[in-house]
């Protein structure tokens, strides 16, 4: 269910945007699921596996501001249903084949006052590979714009031969790329229900949320079932799930 033009765009530019792919009652349903998770975060103690909260400059977590649920599909099967939505998988299949897994599933509520979900990085830095068989997928459950912290990408950056240097930052989780050629950056401003695919080699980040609104999104990675990733094996890693085929 991809045109040859879309396949070529993914190969050449490193990303594809499907606006309003999740709509109507389905979008309402998933919004409810994520609202419930945000409510649950308020009674979830700091240090609970899967849950992380926004950090201040002393690296202390603020229990009122959920930052991320890592492994959200392992925690909540209703989110795994979203990862299995046929409108999404029908678009992954032409790129990766008929047996598909998803791994590394995340929910970012990106609450007002919460800063950013991620700084500049390439997902493959975290996966210890340069495989071009990993499709990262971000789903925006709410309108996403510059003020509430939309995705930013550097088109074609997946074509580079190497993973850039990533450095840790005191007031954030993770390691990030420090210098980006801003003239190459595209802001991905999209309405609620939009699904974005991008290569796991593509440089991307997000604006901080400076608005009074939240910006719920998920981020995860589709791979062929046969792709063996050292740190994310099919057996023995609880956040890798078969989503189509065998
Ligand atoms: O929060 C977003 O918009 C994107 C998140 C992302 O790309 C990631 O987790 O690598």
- pLDDT at position 169, please? 84
Q: Which atom of ligand 1 is nearest to 110's Cα?
A: 1
Nearest CA to ligand 1 atom 6: 219
- pLDDT at position 172, please? 86
- d(CA 94, ligand 1 centre) in Å: 23
* Tens of pLDDT, residues 139-185: 999 999 999 999 999 999 999 988 999 999 877 899 999 989 999 99
Helix (H, G, I), strand (E, B) or coil at 223: strand
- d(CA 245, ligand 1 centre) in Å: 26
**Token pair listed for 133:** 């068989």
- pLDDT at position 115, please? 87
Put simply, whether the predicted model's pTM sits higher than 0.95 gets the answer yes
- d(CA 16, ligand 1 centre) in Å: 15
Q: The domain spanning residue 157 has which CATH number?
A: 2.60.120.620
CA–CA dist 111, 216 (Å, integer): 8
- pLDDT of the chain along its 246 residues, tens only? 899 999 999 999 999 999 999 999 999 999 999 999 999 999 999 999 999 999 988 889 999 999 999 999 999 999 999 999 999 999 999 999 999 999 999 999 999 999 899 999 999 999 999 999 999 999 999 999 999 999 999 999 999 988 999 999 877 899 999 989 999 999 999 999 999 999 999 999 999 999 999 999 999 999 999 999 999 999 989 999 999 999
CA–CA dist 73, 102 (Å, integer): 9
**Token pair listed for 158:** 């997946």
Q: Which atom of ligand 1 is nearest to 121's Cα?
A: 10
**Token pair listed for 219:** 């981020």
Phi and psi, residue 168, nearest 5°: -80, 155
Count the neighbouring beta carbons within 10 Å of the beta carbon of residue 178: 11
- d(CA 98, ligand 1 centre) in Å: 25
The one-character DSSP state at 152 is E
Phi and psi, residue 147, nearest 5°: -70, -40
Ligand 1 pocket by C-beta < 6 Å: which residues?
Answer: 106, 108, 117-118, 123, 138, 151, 204, 206, 217, 219
Domain encompassing residue 123: 4-53+62-244
User: Which of 114, 219, 239 is the pocket-test mutation for ligand 1 (most atoms within 8 Å of CB)?
Assistant: 219
Nearest CA to ligand 1 atom 1: 117
Is the Cβ–Cβ distance between 53 and 63 less than 8 Å?
yes
Whether the CA torsion 144, 139, 118, 135 is positive or negative: it is negative
Helix (H, G, I), strand (E, B) or coil at 35: helix
Domains: count for the chain: 1
- d(CA 187, ligand 1 centre) in Å: 13
User: Which of 72, 141, 206 is the pocket-test mutation for ligand 1 (most atoms within 8 Å of CB)?
Assistant: 206
- 217-240: burial string, b at 16+ Cβ within 10 Å, e else: bbbbbbbbbebebeebebeeeebb
Q: Which atom of ligand 1 is nearest to 151's Cα?
A: 3
Percent of the chain residues past pLDDT 90, beyond the cut: 91
- pLDDT at position 18, please? 98
């Amino acid at each position: 269910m991809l045109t040859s033009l879309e396949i070529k765009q993914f190969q050449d530019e490193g990303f594809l945007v499907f606006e309003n792919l999740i709509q109507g009652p389905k979008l309402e349903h998933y919004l409810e699921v994520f609202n419930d998770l945000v409510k649950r975060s308020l009674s979830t103690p700091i240090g609970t596996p899967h849950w992380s909260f926004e950090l201040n400059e002393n690296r202390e977590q603020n229990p009122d501001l959920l930052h991320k649920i890592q492994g959200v599909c392992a925690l909540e099967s209703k989110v795994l249903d979203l990862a299995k939505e046929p409108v999404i998988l029908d678009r992954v299949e032409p790129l990766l084949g008929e047996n598909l897994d998803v791994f590394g599933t995340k929910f970012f509520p990106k609450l007002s006052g919460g800063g950013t979900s991620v700084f500049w990085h390439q997902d493959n830095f975290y996966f210890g590979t340069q495989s071009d068989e990993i499709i990262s997928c971000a789903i925006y459950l709410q309108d996403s714009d510059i003020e509430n912290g939309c995705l930013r990408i550097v088109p074609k950056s997946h074509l580079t031969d190497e993973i850039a240097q990533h450095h840790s930052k005191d007031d954030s989780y993770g390691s990030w790329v420090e210098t980006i050629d801003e003239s190459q950056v595209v802001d991905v401003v999209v309405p609620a229900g939009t699904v974005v695919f991008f290569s796991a080699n593509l440089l991307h980040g997000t604006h901080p949320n400076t608005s009074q609104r939240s910006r719920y999104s998920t981020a995860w990675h589709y791979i062929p079932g046969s792709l063996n990733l050292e740190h994310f094996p099919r057996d023995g890693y609880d956040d890798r799930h078969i989503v189509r085929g065998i």
